[in-house]
Amino acid sequence: MSAGIITTVYRAAADVPVAPDGSVEPLLADDPWWLGLIKALLIFVILLLLTLFAIWFERKVVGRMQHRPGPNWNGPFGLLQSLADALKLHFKEGIIPARADKVVYILAPAFAAIPAFLIFSIIPVGGEVNMFGEQTALQLIDPPVGWEYAEIRVRDFVPTGNTVQVRFRMNDEGQYSLNRALVDDVALFQGAGGGGGMSASMVSGTNDRALVIGRVGPSPARGSVRMSLSLAGATRVSASVFDAQGRLVANIADGAMAAGPHTLEWNGRSRSGETAAAGIYFMEVKAGTAVKRDKFVMLR
């Protein structure tokens, strides 16, 4: 029998923008620089207001515990007390200890605040909106991190009955480091029609091959999501979507399925027909006694 070698074959998830060369385009690739500056300013203002409110709330609670009113002088209900304290601190005389490292002493507050700002810069607050005539996502940056789902259909490249060798090769395209590149849980299964198939299963810690599932994609998603699965034999399959609190959101499938590969799809709507809110969801698949699930993120 002849040997076939397959290297670096990817299937991009639907609804993900793909460049002409086949690579996945960044989510915010078309954003102008001034729009990113406006987003950064909005994040800074929101975090500043949240900090002022958090300090006011803490002082109110502590004041109640100590049988005193707490902030009640500046602004309605004392809400501007934290702002007044910040302005007072800004105009006080700056004193630097004689033996202190001046550079570290001055930059230390910035080093403490920058990580908190960066954490909020990657959070997808919502889906696409129109800001000043530009379509953009409510997110400042889109770092190229996380798992990428790849699926290879061996029978599309090698005739049935041949020996197949699969080789994984990591290429550094000069943009990102590959010191943490991994291949996670590769699963092989017999596809429909007698041909061989392979799916990259993302479910860890299981040797049960009666049911093999792939990652739910795309994630994050703004519309429908899909999950590929393979059954070792004909069985009854049920699939459901749950929110982060474990509440049932929708039923996707409930019926008998033949052996081989299948695709499940959720249209992003609840059992009542309403559009599901943004958040974290879980797709759970049951086939006989096998139960497997995967997590995904929905944006709006």
Better-predicted residue by pLDDT, 254 or 183? 254
Q: Name the token pair of 71.
A: 């902030």
57 pLDDT tier (thresholds 50, 70, 90):
very high
pLDDT at residue 112 greater than cutoff 60: yes
Q: What is the pLDDT of residue 13?
A: 38
DSSP letters, 30-86, are T--HHHHHHHHHHHHHHHHHHHHHHHHHHHHHHHHHTTS--S-SSSGGGTTHHHHHH
pLDDT at residue 149 greater than cutoff 60: no
pLDDT in tens, 207-233: 345 677 777 888 888 888 988 888 888
pLDDT at residue 154 greater than cutoff 70: no
Is residue 218 reached through a cis peptide bond, with omega within 30 degrees of 0 on the bond before it?
A: yes
| SS3 category, 111 | helix
283-297: burial string, b at 16+ Cβ within 10 Å, e else: bbbbbeebebbbebe
Q: What is the pLDDT of residue 23?
A: 47
Question: Percentage of the chain with pLDDT > 90?
Answer: 9
Better-predicted residue by pLDDT, 84 or 200? 84
CATH 2.60.40.4070 in the chain: give the residue spans: 147-298
| SS3 category, 6 | strand
- CATH architecture group of domain 147-298: Sandwich (2.60)
